[in-house]
A = this chain, B = another copy of it.
Amino acid sequence: MSSLRARQKEDRRNRIVTSAKTLFRQQGFEKTTIEGIAEAAGVSGVTVHNYYGTKAGVLLALVIESDKLLIEKLESTLPKEPASLTDLMLQFARDIMDHAIANLDKVIWRQVIAAVTTGGVTQLTRAYFKLDQQLAFVLVRRIERLQQAGKLSPDIDASHLGKALFHLQNARFIQFISADELSRDEIEQRLRNDLAALFAVGSV
């Protein structure tokens, strides 16, 4: 039973985000103006500000939508019974990079990272961090599966391990988008090295 106002608002949100996505992809982040987005969405520039605060806020909103899809995709495509922890991680990292690149280019992803770190504590950044947690949790659950399958010691705290590995993956992801020339293969190799070294520490 949504009111007319609520529906109109929802509608404007959609128009703004959709227009922004098109413009960001066509002309990049910098060259896209708030006025441009507003015009394409049929609202005033100030309304865009009222809705999303900043240009980066609009971008964040759009990324949040696509990240929800990413999580669904990961839930379904990540192997339920991974062969090993390393395999799981590499697959996880690759899926995330693939998804990122399919949606926006590296230059724009840098703006996303910047927006998230500077953005204070807003509705949008909270939503983003929540999705990040969910993403990490996908990993945690798969790690528990590995433990159940006897492929990983059951004594390890799956939550701690999942979060640590997620942070590491995230660091490599940021490195990936920060340098134009870095390929997914190159990052995969680095991650492989990371894991090999880290996992070798405990072996007596």
The chain A residues found within 8 Å of chain B, CB to CB, are 85, 110-111, 113-115, 117-118, 152-153, 155-157, 160-161, 163-165, 167-168, 170-172, 174-175, 178, 190, 193-204
Contacts and interface: CB of A to CB of B under 8 A. Distances in A.
A198 B200 contact: no
Contacts of A117: 110, 113-114, 117, 174, 178
Contact of A202 (B163, B170, B200): B200
A152 B118 contact: no
A115, A153, A157, A171 pick with most chain B CB within 10 angstroms:
A171
Nearest to A190: B163
Contacts of A118: 110-111, 113-114
A85 B113 CA distance: 31
B194 A167 contact: yes
